[in-house]
Amino acid sequence: MKTLRIGTRGSALALKQAEMTEAALASLFPDLEVKRVIIKTTGDRRTDVALKEVAKAEGVWDKGVFIKELELALEENEIDVAVHSLKDLPSELDAQFQLRAVLERAAVADAWIGKIPWAEVKKGTRVGTSSVRRARQLEHLRPGVVMGDLRGNVPTRLRKAAVDLDYDGILLAEAGLQRLGYATEGILEIERHPLFVECLCHTEFFPAAGQGAVGLEIRRGDEESGAIMDALNHDPTWDQVTAEREFLRLLEAGCSTPIGVWSTLEGELMEMSARVYPESGGAPRLASASGVVPLEVASQLFENLK
């Protein structure tokens, strides 16, 4: 292969993840020419309404609005690899596609960014997020908070947190802040407005499956691209995200089901915990599991949740 075409969204975070992929490719395949193809997705275009409303209009699941056009470009052979935030990929892909590799995972935590410290979040605090998982967990952990829908890329959301009087704070992924060079602890200044930043322990505030990982998707059967992706794959991250995504698959949850799940890997021992909120409301179901075979740990976690 003389040229590998990688497809990416055009947001600052997506471009950073494309750069990470390109750097890994350059290190392992210095003679390989890499062409970046920027693709605008439905989710990027429609920031005026909630994700679930965009998804409903497009006939896809909530985060599918961020992958639809990338997969179309793969299908039509316009790109060879699609670079994703892994948490945006459904646990089961269409038959013609394959998640082939993941880069080494960054931090998995969610971060609080607000005009007030996390310790002061209480009844009446106004919080912005587009994630039902984050919203439901926060409502459960801090009863009485007022949730508001928040759309846009990371810089846009940070600006809204700083200057928009409708929000006392917002929730974002720590990995996104890290990759874009923002502070993840202490004070973050946006347009001369100081914001408190605190990363929430993953055992307190459960992350999304695959959070912090970059996924590399190819056309199934494209073994030339697949062999290159295999060289990039980070095995410990692959084991963790495989287990987390298998748990989602077994759960057969709807696109609006709020699910938090985390895993740790110490040597061969994997530990997992999950928190699943009913779509109709109410307290979450909790479960934990451990073992040395990722798919078996995911299956045990699912069984323990029943």
Residues identified as active-site: 88
Record the tokens describing residue 261, joined without a space. Answer: 């799940």
Cβ 213 vs Cβ 128: under 8 Å: no
- The number of beta carbons lying within 10 Å of the beta carbon of residue 225 is 22
The radius of gyration computed from the CA coordinates of the chain, to the nearest angstrom, equals: 19
Nearest-angstrom CA–CA distance, 255 and 133: 11
Cβ 102 vs Cβ 213: under 8 Å: yes
Nearest to 173 by CA among 90, 113, 117: 113
Nearest-angstrom CA–CA distance, 256 and 242: 21
Nearest-angstrom CA–CA distance, 92 and 85: 15
